Structure 1
Amino acid sequence: MIVNAAPSMKQIALEVWKPLSLLFVWDVFVTITYYVLPFDAPELPVTVFGSALALFLGFRSNSAYQRWWEGRGLWGLMINASRNIARQARNFLPDPEARDMKRTIVLRQIAYVHALRCQLRRQSPDEEVLRFLSKGEADFALARTNTANGLVDGTGRRIDTARKNGWIDTIQQSAMESVLVDIANAQGGMERLKNTPLPFQYRFFPTLFTHMFCILLPIGLVETLGFATPLGSTIAGLMFLAVLAIGDDLVDPFANTVHDLPLSAMCRTIEIDLLQAIGDEAPAPMQPVNGILW
């Protein structure tokens, strides 16, 4: 996620130079053709087309931003639930009998959020899980298709074992299980966003209409702008392409690009809070790299 308050001209240039170059070449071609072979091009159709397209693209961008913001809200819930399960494990489970169980539940939750991050980014979670759990502790979850869900299931079984051993009562078990339900619900929401793209019509038609508009734009402006058509048409077309790109950038908040949610930083936040909850040394918070927080 880009966190700099001021825009990076380098980042902007990297993203726009290709469409900008193509637009400019086309606009120059239309302008030269107009002066070599003059033609009449009424302005009204292009104006109406542009107004309709702006509304269409604005609606699409809003839909994409809602997905991005929902993803951020779900990760906010995950951060809170992780703190809650760690606090309950620390406070409910007695020392010294259940000290190892307490530590295992906290470390499993840290491994869980890292595994979920990797799954959402289509990366292997094995290495991250084994950073916090022994191979024997992690094998059951790593053998599952959904490693993160396997880790939550294992945590639930350990909570049940703690109740059977008399370390917690059924009310405390129910309270901890309710937090695991919140965790599972948040994961389900994230998986829904990841696995359900915008409908095909939302992706295909805005792209088609925007490209058509950029092709027609210099034809409609050349009579008015003359030799200034390449400049005016390129800038106007670029604004529409930029709005189109915004929707593409935000539609998948977990894709691990500069525009997506900083999952690594949020997982590090959870890791710090939970390690400190059990008295372990915690790493430093992640810092932006060249204005980007991953």
Structure 2
Amino acid sequence: MIVDPVPSMRRIASEVWMPLTVLFVWDCAVTITYYVLPFKAPSLPLTIFGSALALFLGFRSNSAYQRWWEARTLWGAMINASRSLSRATRNFLPDPEAKEMKREIIKRQIAYVNALRFQLRRQPIGEEVTKFVAERDKAHALARANPANGLLDSTGRRIDIARQEGWLDTIQQAQMERVLVDIANAQGGMERIKNTPLPYQYRFLPTLFTHMFCVLLPIGLVESLGFATPLGSTVAGLMFMAVLRIGDDLTDPFADSVHDVPLTAMCRTIEIDLLQSIGDEAPPPIQPVRGILW
């Protein structure tokens, strides 16, 4: 996620220089052709085309932003649920009898959120997960097709073991299970966003119409702008292509790009809060790198 108050011109240029160059060359070609060839191109209703395209792109960008914001909301719920699980574990399980069980459940939750982050980003499970789980979990929970769900299931089993040992009563167990349900619901929402892209029409038609509009733009402007057509047409086309690119960037909030939800930073927030709740030393928060919070 970009956190700089002022966008980096270098980053913007790196993303748009290629289509901008192609558009400028095309605008120059149309302008030169207009003054060299004896016939003139017909006028085009660019205002109508542009207005319709702007509405189309605005609707698509809003849909993409809603996906991004829902992803951020679900991760906010995950942070709150992790804190609630840690607090209930720390307060309900007695010391010293259940001290190790208490630490195991809390550390497993840290492993769980990191495993979920890796899954959503389509990355292999890393050390941020394996260092918080026992060897038997690496061969069982992490070996599942959905390692995060495997860790959550085994956390539920440990809560049931604590009840069987007499460390929890049924009311306390039910309360902790409700927190696990909230965590599972948040994970399901994130997986729905990740595995369900925008409909094909939302992705293909805006791209097609934007490129068609940029091709027609200098043809419709050359008569009124003359030799200024390359500049005016390129700037106008850039605005439409920028809106198109915004929608593309926000469609998948878990793609591990600079525009995504900062999963690494939020997982570190959970790790800090949960480790401090059991008195362990916590790592520092994730800091932005060149204006990007990962």
Query: 2:254 touches 2:261 (CA, 8 Å); kept in 1?
Result: yes
Does residue 263 of structure 2 align to residue 291 of structure 1?
Answer: no
Q: Which runs of 4+ in 1 moved over 3 A?
A: 38-44
Size of the aligned set, in residue pairs, is 294
Residue in structure 2 matched with residue 68 of structure 1 by the alignment: 68
Using the TM superposition, give the Cα deviation of residue 117 of structure 1 relative to its aligned residue in structure 2, in angstroms. Answer: 0.2
Q: Give the counterpart letter for 2:229 in structure 1.
A: T
**Corresponding residue of 2:119:** 119
The letter of the residue matching 2:19 is P
Query: Equivalences for 1:111-260 in 2 at 5 Å?
Result: 111-260=111-260
Instruction: Supply the distance in 1 between the matched residues of 2:157 and 2:65 (Cα, whole angstroms).
Output: 38
Give the Å deviation of 1:16.
Answer: 1.0
How far 1:135 sits from its partner (Å)?
A: 1.7
- What CA distance in whole angstroms lies between the structure 1 residues aligned with 2:269 and 2:126? 20
3-state DSSP of counterpart to 1:280:
coil
What 5-or-longer segments of structure 1 have no aligned partner? none
- Aligned partners of 2:130, 2:256: CA distance in 1, in Å? 22
| Alpha-carbon distance in 2 for matches of 1:53, 1:83 | 45
3-state SS, counterpart of residue 95 of structure 1? coil
Tell me if 1:58 matches 2:54. Answer: no
d(CA) in 2 for partners of 1:38, 1:195 = 55
- Structure 1's 87 and 116: CA in aligned 2 closer, same or farther, altered over 3 A? same
Q: Which residue of 1 aligns with 2:15?
A: 15
| Cα deviation, residue 137, structure 1 | 3.3
1:26-41 equivalent positions in 2, closer than 5 A: 26-41=26-41
Contact 2:31–2:222 (Cα < 8 Å) also in 1: yes
Contact persistence 1:129–1:138 (CA under 8 A): no
Is the CA contact (8 Å cut-off) linking 2:34 and 2:41 kept in structure 1?
Answer: no
* Pair 1:44–1:26, CA change in 2 (3 A): closer
Tell me by how many angstroms 1:110 deviates: 0.0
String of CA shifts for 1:187-236, please: whole Å, max 9, x gaps: 00000000000000000000000000000000000000000000000000
User: Does the 8 Å CA contact 2:75/2:186 hold for their aligned counterparts?
Assistant: yes
Q: Give yes or no for the alignment of 1:45 onto 2:45.
A: yes
3-state SS of paired residue (2:287): coil
Against the structure 1 CA distance between its residues 39 and 190, is the aligned structure 2 distance closer, same or farther, given a 3 Å change threshold?
Answer: farther
> Which residue pairs with 1:265 in the alignment?
265
CA RMSD of aligned residues (A): 0.9
- Displacement of 1:43 in angstroms is 4.3
**In structure 2, what is the Cα distance between the partners aligned to 1:254 and 1:53?**
28
How far did 1:258 drift?
0.3
Deviation of 1:128 (Å): 2.8
Secondary structure in structure 1 of the residue aligned to 2:176: helix
C-alpha separation in 1, matches of 2:108 and 2:138: 9
Aligned to 2:77: 77
For residues 68-126 of structure 1, the C-alpha deviation after alignment (integer angstroms, 9 at most, x for no partner) is 00000000000000000000000000000000000000000000000000000000115
SS for the counterpart of 2:45 is helix
Q: Aligned partners of 1:82, 1:33: CA distance in 2, in Å?
A: 64
- The letter for the 2-side match of 1:128 is E
Does the residue aligned with 2:141 lie in a helix, a strand or coil? helix
Q: Distance in 2 between matches of 1:134 and 1:218?
A: 64
Structure 1 residue 93 and structure 2 residue 93: aligned? yes
Taking the aligned partners of 2:193 and 2:239, their CA distance within structure 1 comes to: 27
Structure 1 residue identity aligned to 2:28: V
Could you list the runs of 5+ residues in structure 2 that have no partner in the other structure? none
Matched residues in 2 for 1:40 and 1:83: separation? 69
TM-score, normalised relative to structure 2: 0.98
